[in-house]
Each structure stands twice: as C-alpha cells, then as structure tokens.
Amino acid sequence: MAPMCMYCAPETGMATKWHTIHYATRAVGGIGLIIVEATGISPEGRLTSKDLGIWEDGHIEGLSEIVRAVHECGAKIGIQLNHGGRKCEAKGVVIEAPSPIPYKEGDTPPNEMSKADIDDTVQEFMNAAVRADKAGFDLIQIHAAHGYLINEFLSPLTNHRTDEYGGSPENRVRFLGDVVDAVRKVWPAEKPIEVRVTAEDYQEGGNHAEDLGNMLNLIKHKGIDSVNVSTGGLVPVVPETYPGYQIPQAAKIKEITGLPVAAGGMLSNANDINTILVNKKADMIYLGREVLRNPYWALHAAKELNFDLDWPKQYERAKVK
C-alpha cells in the first residue's frame, strides 16, 4: 500500500483511532506491506496542518498503536518520513527550500536554507528514524519525490545553489546522501531503508529516470535497500496518466542501479500487475487509490490469479470460490 495522506490528524500531528482502523483494515485485506502516509519530521516538514507528525517523542505512542494493529492483522508496516519544503501549507511555520523559488506563480518564495538549516534538517530525519524504530516500524521510506524538500534538492529546476549542495548531480544528491547516512546510523541494520523518488519532472531541464538512476548510484552504498519509483509533483504540470504509466521509469532505474524497485501508477488489474512482476520490470507493486476503494483487493486478486490465499478466519465463510 502506497503512502497516501489522510489529512485528518489534529494540528499536534498525533495519530488517531481512525488512522489505526484505516491501516489495520488493509492488513486484514491481505496487503503485505503498508506504508504510512507522509509524516512530518518537523512542524514545517508537514504538507498541511492535518498531517501526521514524528517530530517529538509524544508522537510515538499513537504510531505504535498503528504498528501493533497492523502486525496483529498479519502485515508489515513502514513509515514515510518527509519534509514538505516549499510545498508546505501548514499554518504558522517558516517555509524553507534549497532555493527561494516558489512552487507556483503568486506563492510567497520560501527561505533559502543555510548550511546550518541543512544540518538541522538532517538531524531531524535522524531523530525521526529513532522514533520510528521505537514505534516498531519494519521499514523507513525516505520521501525524495513529489516536489518536497529532498526532491527540490535533486532537481535543477528547483535547486539553483552554488555551494556543495547545488550544481552538479554529485552536489544535488548530497543532501539525500546525508539523510540516508543519518538514518542508517540509528536505524537497525536488519530493517530496510527505501527511497521514494520522482523519476520524471515533466518539464524541460528537469530530471529524467536516467538522471535519478545515476544519482542513486552515487549514494546507494550508504544503505539504500530499495527504490520506490514515482513521477511528477515538482512543478504544477499534470502528466497524462494511464494504468502502468510509471513502469518504464521504474524499469530504467532498476536497470541502472541494480536495486530492487517498487513501481505503480493507476494499477488495479491483478493480471496486469502480475505480468509486470513476471517480466521483471519491477520487484514490488504499490497500490494507492485502488486499496482506498477496496481494502480487500489482495484477497480478490488471488482468486483472479488462481492462487489459494488464506482469508482471515473471521471471513472464511465469505471466501470467493
């Protein structure tokens, strides 16, 4: 299950019973790995004032309840750690980014981050990883996609810096490398780290899959276990979408980096998904909207693929034959 913001947390960023029920329901429905929505590493790291937070120890208890419920229902669970950068819309916070370039015309330009700001943010990612481990999560996904802070450092469209964090691909990937280093120092070695990337900026002069693959090759040794491939979100351009529209980018990053990749994009048909996996275009498939519509998608997909998947014993009498 792909991370999808629910926009229903209180301004404190605390998880609610609704979150617990929402994620546990997908575990009951047979999803193997659930990734919790973008969770702010700081108040200004949220996308909105209604996002989950992990910037203080008080958040651990609520997140732990989600983890326990998902584990009890048979699934693994990860958390997406995020800083919204220039796309932050939370109330009462200072918006920051690698360069003072607004997301869209008319927006207030964000503050350009100093080296001290960068160091502080890396530390916030590290602190969030410590809390994620205390909460019991099985995986951390570092959000470097969809136009948020790390993605802003990666793309030449949003990173106009002239210091060691801007210019060349080696410099633009440095911030992500610093974050991976920091997370890996405190995250247990047996637990994986996944990085989610935007593999296509959909604007001239932006990044493409080859660019991201080459940049990931510069830092993958720091402890990246898999790459979750998405596209868009950096600039206000709406791409043409269709089932599997992001699979070519995922396949290219898999080819360039040799890392396992998770891919998706408007997918819902079990046979189509199975074909992608059999043809080794991706190693995992993530579903988003489809599992909002149907929490039990995996149970029905097994039937379509003639696989005898055990249903929860409470639901066995309703199993599709």
153-204 pLDDT, tens digit per residue, is 999 999 999 999 999 999 999 999 999 999 999 999 999 999 999 999 999 9
49-107 pLDDT, tens digit per residue, is 999 999 999 999 999 999 999 999 999 999 999 999 999 999 999 999 999 999 999 89
DSSP characters over 225-290 = -EEEEE---SSS------TTTTHHHHHHHHHHH---EEE-SS---HHHHHHHHHTTS-SEE--SHH
C-alpha Rg value of the chain to the nearest Å: 19
Q: Is 146 a catalytic residue?
A: yes
Per-residue tokens: 320: 């599709």
The catalytic residue among 146, 165, 286, 296 is 146
Q: Is 59 a catalytic residue?
A: no
Q: Is 71 a catalytic residue?
A: no
Q: Is the pTM here over 0.95, yes or no?
A: yes
Among residues of the chain, what percentage have pLDDT more than 70? 100
Among candidates 220, 287, 286, 279, which has minimal Cα distance to 253?
A: 220
Q: Taking the mean position of all CA atoms in its chain, how far away is CA 40?
A: 12
Instruction: List CB contacts of 245: < 8 A, sequence separation 6 or more.
Output: 231, 239, 265, 266
Please, are residues 183 and 142 in contact by the beta-carbon 8 Å criterion?
yes
Q: Output the CA torsion sign for 260, 85, 222, 123.
A: negative
Instruction: List CB contacts of 27: < 8 A, sequence separation 6 or more.
Output: 34, 69, 70, 73, 74, 75, 77
Query: What domains are there in the chain, each with its CATH number?
Result: 17-318 (3.20.20.70)
The catalytic residue among 23, 103, 148, 296 is 148
The catalytic residue among 143, 165, 286, 296 is 143
